[in-house]
Structure 1
Amino acid sequence: MFVELFYTTLQRVRGFIVINEFLEHAPDGQQIQRTIVTVIGMHRSGTSAIAKGLECLGLNMGDALIAPGEDNPRGYWEDAEVLRINKEVLERLNIAWNDIRIVPEALFLGAALKDLHAQAEKLLISRADQYAMWGFKDPRTLRVLPFWLHAAEQSGVNLQFVVALRHPYAVALSLQKRNGISLTRGQLMWAAYILPFLPLIKNYPHVFISYDDLLEQPALILEKIALHLALSIDENKLKKYVEQFLSQSLRHHSVSLHDEDYTKQVLPLLDEIYHILTAIKQNESNAQWVLWAACYEEYQRCQSILEELDAESDYHWKRRGSFLKRLIYG
């Protein structure tokens, strides 16, 4: 109770300071820049549960959400237009949703995506004007992050990030159950999403959230988000979210360090990187990002192997499944 009260008080003070700084430094007659919150993270990392929870902080995820699916019956909380643009970006660049290649940042800033950049800029401005505080979520956003950072810069929108973290082995277990993807490929997919562009958010307001922590201490975690993003919690919405939406049944896979399968099949370098992320989540510092960079540099040495694996994978296998599943999963 004391910890939650401390977070609440600190958050309100910080929010007051942030608002006043905006007012004091904004030129006369100039509107305060639009702010949008986006949830980023690998598939099967709790991004949907986090996105729903942001409604307790006054965010509106919009009225153009895609319908719930068999694998996510409580809803994806994904804007249909954001999803369409992300899928089109990946399609044009010949990147399947379950690719494992390391993709260069410049690829998302080229002329081939010029019209999509314009669409994204228009969408950000439109949603920010439509809602007092809008947020969006789609796991693909992290895979194409340079695209959205560029769109936000061009449209004059301030982005804030909530990063959903989950152990790569737990993600792989979930992907294996849902899509029949091997545990090795599932972990490599986690790396393809998480590693290349995550450091780009360091200069933006951001907060790292563990999916497991959200399920175990939802009120405290939402207080943490509120503190970092200078927002306020609606206690009635929080109560409804905890009692009616969240459930331990949402967590189908967890990682135990003593599990024999885990010790045999986890990829050690990715396990190390995840634990660096955990440290960043708890107390972010430049030293931890230096460790991250060293691990990523080591992982990049595997690029030729990753490209070879994807080259030998049949493109239709990567997009296999029923027409409905292709629509849902990309």
Structure 2
Amino acid sequence: MNPRERLKAAKGEIASEPRTAILVLGMHRSGTSALGALVAAHGATPPKHLLPGSLHNPKGHWESTPLTIADDHLLTAAASSWQDWLPLDRQWLQSPAAERFRPMMTAIIASEFGDAPLFFVKDPRICRFLPFIASILADLRIDPIAFLPVRNPLEVACSLQERDQMELPTAFMLWLRHVLEAEHHSRHMPRCILRHEDLLSDWRHQMDRAARETGIVWPVTSDQADTAIAEFLDKDLHHQRASVADLQNHPDATPLVRSAYAILRSMASEGDSQDLRDQLDRVRATFDESCDVVGKAVTAGNLAAKRLHGELEKGIVERDALADAQQALIRDRDSFMAERDALAHAQQDLIQARDSFMAERDALALAQDGLVAERSALARIRDDLVAERDAALASRSWRLTGPLRWVSSIRRR
């Protein structure tokens, strides 16, 4: 079916094949990825663009990347986040602000799953606004089925503490918010509640039970899915382990958390019943009342924390700017020192050249003095010779022998 036909089918203009979406509704770190892998191995279509694996989930999340991003944006628009354990404003979910997300999420679901008759949507965030997602599926004439994995909240809290450095009391309240919202808003759907430890110990029986209780037929049988599941389902990845007794004795586990977990375990093992639903309704009402009491204080605390965070970020920016300026000054200082050292070396070279020139000058001066002395000595010798000549010329013997010298010169001619 092409997009135009899908749109017509959504409007009821033409008949369409029945389609089913399995909603994996569980708290973060509750085994939702393992359940997603099991559902995929049994033939349900996964999203086209899977969120890649991570350090704490190396085998993958089985979540749609664009849908997860859109879910985060919706929570942000609702003044919330995935770490917020306060209830979402139900009026906001019916407001124009929320409705702006409907076309985008509708397009994402159509793009990620195409015309698949059986597919699954897995993102713990949708527990917080399940009615909104269910209404989008209804617009697309897609029947929802809910799988609710339940894991010991102490294991969940310890896992969040390790992965996100989340405080245990906060993690417990976050677990409580997710499971209560998911259970309450999935009551009108065919659903199956599955204990995490049962999935790990006997996934074949649990997946067959899920099919029976929700009325779906797996495209791939458990025997056929065995190889694919063996590659993903690894008990060694079940790092955090805690017993029911550990939860009961833990000081951070409130009575509401312990009660909710006990009721959900009973639903998984004994089956759904109105009595168990009523018990969960009382837990939910008490939790919501507590949130109403502490909500304002938490909101004020969050605002103060945001203000302090903003001031901290501003201080960090200023610190970084000062550090950059300091580094620039250090570089300038180093440059000046290098230039100073170069000038000092040049000065030493000039001093050495000057000393060499002065030594050469002194040597020349000495040589000059020697030449002057030698010239003076030669001048004295010359003067002595001139004096001797003049004396000879003035002597009587020179005059008497004059005729003889004349005759001698005539003969030589």
TM-score normalized by the length of structure 1 = 0.81
User: Secondary structure at 1:172's aligned position in 2?
Assistant: helix
The match for 2:131 is: 146
The match for 1:312 is: 301
Equivalent residues of 1:101, 1:307 under 8 A apart: no
Please tell me whether residue 285 in structure 1 is matched to residue 273 in structure 2. Answer: yes
Q: Distance in 2 between matches of 1:30 and 1:261?
A: 53
Q: Distance in 2 between matches of 1:90 and 1:82?
A: 12
Write out per-residue CA displacement over residues 213-256 of structure 1, whole angstroms, 9 at most, x where no aligned residue. 11111111111122223223434543114422212112112222
The match for 1:199 is: 184
The match for 1:6 is: none
Write out per-residue CA displacement over residues 161-183 of structure 1, whole angstroms, 9 at most, x where no aligned residue. 11111122221111111111111
Map 1:213-224; keep pairs closer than 5 Å: 213-224=198-209
Please tell me whether residue 98 in structure 1 is matched to residue 83 in structure 2. Answer: yes
Instruction: Return the letter of the residue paired with 2:90.
Output: E
Larger relative CO (CA 8 A, sep 6+): 1 or 2? 1
Higher helix share: 2
Q: Distance in 1 between matches of 2:64 and 2:165?
A: 27
User: Secondary structure at 1:106's aligned position in 2?
Assistant: helix
Write out per-residue CA displacement over residues 109-164 of structure 1, whole angstroms, 9 at most, x where no aligned residue. 21102221112223334445432322121111111212201212222221111111
User: Secondary structure at 1:160's aligned position in 2?
Assistant: strand
Q: Distance in 1 between matches of 2:206 and 2:18?
A: 27
Give the Å deviation of 1:310. Answer: 4.7
Instruction: Return the letter of the residue paired with 1:226.
Output: A
Give the Å deviation of 1:184. Answer: 0.6
Instruction: Return the letter of the residue paired with 1:239.
Output: D
The match for 2:284 is: 296
Give the Å deviation of 1:89. Answer: 0.4
Equivalent residues of 2:144, 2:190 under 8 A apart: yes
Q: Distance in 2 between matches of 1:262 and 1:99?
A: 25
State the identity as a percent.
21
The match for 2:28 is: 43
Equivalent residues of 2:64, 2:112 under 8 A apart: no
Mark the structure with the bigger radius of gyration: 2
Worse-superposed segment, 39-48 or 142-151? 142-151
The match for 1:16 is: none
Worse-superposed segment, 265-274 or 30-39? 30-39
Aligned-CA RMSD value: 2.4
- Relative to structure 1, the CA distance from residue 178 to residue 220 in structure 2 (aligned partners, 3 Å threshold; closer, same or farther) is same
Q: Distance in 2 between matches of 1:192 and 1:289?
A: 16
Q: Distance in 1 between matches of 2:132 and 2:306?
A: 24
Q: Distance in 2 between matches of 1:234 and 1:83?
A: 29
Equivalent residues of 2:49, 2:64 under 8 A apart: yes
Q: How many residues align?
A: 292
User: Secondary structure at 1:64's aligned position in 2?
Assistant: coil
User: Secondary structure at 2:251's aligned position in 1?
Assistant: helix
The match for 1:158 is: 143
Structure 2: segments with no counterpart, 5+ residues: 1-11, 310-413
Give the Å deviation of 1:56. Answer: 2.7
2:165 to 147, 168, 180: 180
The match for 1:247 is: 234
Equivalent residues of 1:174, 1:253 under 8 A apart: yes
Instruction: Return the letter of the residue paired with 2:279.
Output: L
1:74 to 26, 42, 59: 59
Give the Å deviation of 1:75. Answer: 0.2
Write out per-residue CA displacement over residues 179-228 of structure 1, whole angstroms, 9 at most, x where no aligned residue. 11111111011122222353121111111111111111111111112222
Map 1:8-27; keep pairs closer than 5 Å: none
Q: Distance in 1 between matches of 2:234 and 2:182?
A: 31
Instruction: Return the letter of the residue paired with 2:217.
Output: L
- Relative to structure 1, the CA distance from residue 277 to residue 33 in structure 2 (aligned partners, 3 Å threshold; closer, same or farther) is same
Q: Distance in 1 between matches of 2:289 and 2:62?
A: 36
TM-score normalized by the length of structure 2 = 0.66
Structure 1: segments with no counterpart, 5+ residues: 1-26, 319-330
Please tell me whether residue 272 in structure 1 is matched to residue 245 in structure 2. Answer: no
Equivalent residues of 2:148, 2:182 under 8 A apart: no
Instruction: Return the letter of the residue paired with 1:231.
Output: V
